[in-house]
Amino acid sequence: MSVKHSLLALLARAPATASTIQQEFDTQLDGLWPLNIGQVSQTLARLQRDELIASAGTTTGPTGRTAELYALTPAGQAELEHWWSSSISRGPSERDELVLKLALAALRPELDYIDIVDTQRFATMEELRALNTANRSLPEDRNAQRLATERRIFELEATLRWLDRVEALSPIERTSHE
Map out the domains of the chain as residue ranges: 3-85, 97-168
d(CA 105, CA 112): 9
123 CA to centre of own chain: 21
Q: In this structure, what DSSP letter does residue 141 have?
A: S
Q: In this structure, what DSSP letter does residue 105 have?
A: H
How much is the pLDDT for 177? 52
How much is the pLDDT for 173? 81
Architecture of domain 3-85: Orthogonal Bundle (1.10)
Helices marked H in 12-141 — which ranges? 18-28, 37-49, 74-85, 97-105, 113-136
Which amino acid is it at 178? Answer: E
Instruction: Specify the 3-state DSSP secondary structure of 149.
Output: helix
27 touches 19 (CB < 8 A): no
Return the half-sphere exposure (C-beta side, CA atoms, 13 A cut-off) of residue 9: 14
How much is the pLDDT for 79? 96
pLDDT truncated to tens, each residue of the chain (178 aa)? 589 999 999 999 999 999 999 999 999 888 888 899 999 999 999 999 999 999 999 999 888 899 999 999 999 999 999 999 888 877 776 788 899 899 999 988 999 999 999 999 999 999 999 999 999 999 999 999 999 999 999 999 999 999 999 999 988 886 655 5
